[in-house]
Amino acid sequence: MDLDGERVDLEGALELEGKVALVTGGASGIGEAAARLLAASGARVAVVDRDEVGARRVADEVGGSAHATDVSAPTAMAEAVAAAEERFGRLDVVLLNAGMTSGQNGVTDLDVEGYRRIVGVNVDHVVFGVAAAVPALRRAGGGVVVATASLAGLMPHPGDPLYTLTKHAVVGYVRAAAPALAAEGIRLAAVCPGYTDTALIANARAEFGDFPLLGAEDVAAAIMAVVGTGGPGECWFVQPGREPGPYGFRGVPGPAGGRRAPEVTWEQH
């Protein structure tokens, strides 16, 4: 795998030559690494980030486009999708990668503004992003949406309960929304990386000592594998030294007698 402009061939992967991808949080870290891999695989990439300078830098380097916006705003993702379609004529792959930590305990010292902010970026942006992407992917005849969750979406992270809450929400949303979209040829999945050496942990980097960390490129490679072969609703774990793959969720006990729960559509009354 080469990040310096050479074509990247992933065995069994979706053919990306001529496809169009949109990446949020694409100005740095995992998003930047993923944007570079997507471009190296033949895709044209729309880089979306609040950091306009960074987004433009990455877009220029991969021959893509830049769109600066706050992804938590209700109309931001629809505008970013529209801009990508206008520039490139279609949309095939969407990586909803933008995210943040809370910087607070969230239990004994709840800062409401900070809480609203992390929910906006980590959860709302994924919901808005899927809602905005689906019509464009339908127009393209199908496609893939990958949300960047976290191991904190599969297990508790006591150091940041609010971050854990948001990533559990992303995992649950992806698993529940995926089946209906799969029937339309749209695959919705998630990646759940462990601790990754990016700006999110920069302030605590020294505390990790010799604990093995993922690199942004490691997570980007896992994202590419999900784009290529990931199944609907799958949430892939990514850990240092291990082959990424779909997490095996344990089923919950059903009612006695083996009866299956009905598929219920909730209505407001």
What residues are annotated to the active site? 163
DSSP for 61-111, written as a single string? HHT-EEEE--TTSTTHHHHHHHHHHHHHS---EEEE------SS-SSSS--
Residue 76 Cα distances to 71, 127, 176, angstroms: 5, 12, 24
- Residue 252 tokens, joined: 């919950």
Q: Give the C-alpha separation, 193 to 214, whole Å.
A: 8
- Residue 137 tokens, joined: 């992917």
Q: Give the C-alpha separation, 151 to 50, whole Å.
A: 25
Q: Give the C-alpha separation, 221 to 238, whole Å.
A: 10
Q: Give the C-alpha separation, 130 to 147, whole Å.
A: 9
Q: Give the C-alpha separation, 160 to 105, whole Å.
A: 6
Q: Give the C-alpha separation, 49 to 69, whole Å.
A: 6
